[in-house]
Amino acid sequence: MIFDIGKRSLQSESVLIPVEALFGDAKGSRMPSVQASRLNRTIAERVVAACPTSALALDRAGSRQHLTLDYGACIGCGRCIEVGDGALVAAEKLSRCGVSKSGLVRRFDVDGAGEILAEEPAMTAAAESIRALLGRALNVRQVDGGSCNGCEQEIVALNNPYYDLERFGIHFVASPKHADMLLVTGPVTRNMAEAVKQTYAATPSPKLVVAVGACGCSGGIFSGSYAVAGAVDSVIPVDGYIPGCPPTPAMLLTGILKTLRQRS
Ligand code: SF4
Ligand code: SF4
């Protein structure tokens, strides 16, 4: 029987999911997207009250009120979508992967005047030169700074035949000494902080660091715990942030490629 399966597999057409279908895809992540024209003050107050992580917040700019959505703190619980009366919906696309920390935050006028767009600050000039140096191949060392393993499950999925990360020249390596990029998950626990610092020091320059998941970006649901040193950038410098709890493989791929090749 196993030979029949192998034979059928070899005879069947090879299917490659194009990178365009994966890039920016956020389906299944449960991250919210804001329909700015449907926002009003009542809905804004309701979604802010429903958010368990303060990813949604209201602030005042003169006579206007703004709703901010910090993807770095969002755990995709969906509560804002439930009470948002159509003003918040599940995101199908999310460009905020592999961006700077400030790039994770979106801001909306609550009286329906739309999104207040901010210029995404340029990633450092160092990242520019690193991109040029890395060329086409990228070796990634994944570092678990204290995660629940949810993010790791999605990272493992990147190597399955559907996402097939290796076709982009991206390989996971066993040692930071062989790595160009560290993919760091979890809130960094106090027990792991020194290990994360030493892993960073052992990675040859030029190197890139990507903070993964709500925990890596902001501490997530563990933020403020006595056992946690903080988000990844409280321990080592970070070049790109990938939100989500956990981020989907498509979001991870987008974030890795964007950190490597472009700014948002
Ligand atoms: S989905 Fe994100 S923004 Fe919405 S309530 Fe949950 S944590 Fe807050
Ligand atoms: S971001 Fe979510 S899935 Fe990832 S380590 Fe934190 S709690 Fe787990």
Query: Quick check: CB of 53 below 6 Å from ligand 1?
Result: yes
Closest CA to 91 of 155, 21, 27, 142: 27
Q: Which of 35, 46, 74 has the most ligand 1 atoms within 8 A of CB, as the residue to mutate?
A: 74
Neighbours of 24 (CB within 10 A): 18
Ligand number nearest CA of 30 is 1
Q: Which one-letter amino acid corresponds to residue 185?
A: T
Q: Is the pLDDT of residue 5 over 90?
A: no
Averaged confidence pLDDT in the chain: 88
Give yes or no for a contact between 152 and 215, defined as CB atoms under 8 angstroms apart.
no
Return the residue whose CA atom lies nearest to atom 6 of ligand 1: 77
Nearest CA-CA partner of 22 in 139, 167, 144, 121: 167
pTM (global) more than 0.85: yes
Q: What is the per-residue pLDDT for 244?
A: 96
* Atom 2 of ligand 2, residue of closest alpha carbon: 245
At residue 118, the pLDDT reads 63
Residue type, 256: I
- pLDDT of residue 99 exceeding 80, the answer is yes
User: Cα of 88 to ligand 1 centre, how many Å?
Assistant: 10
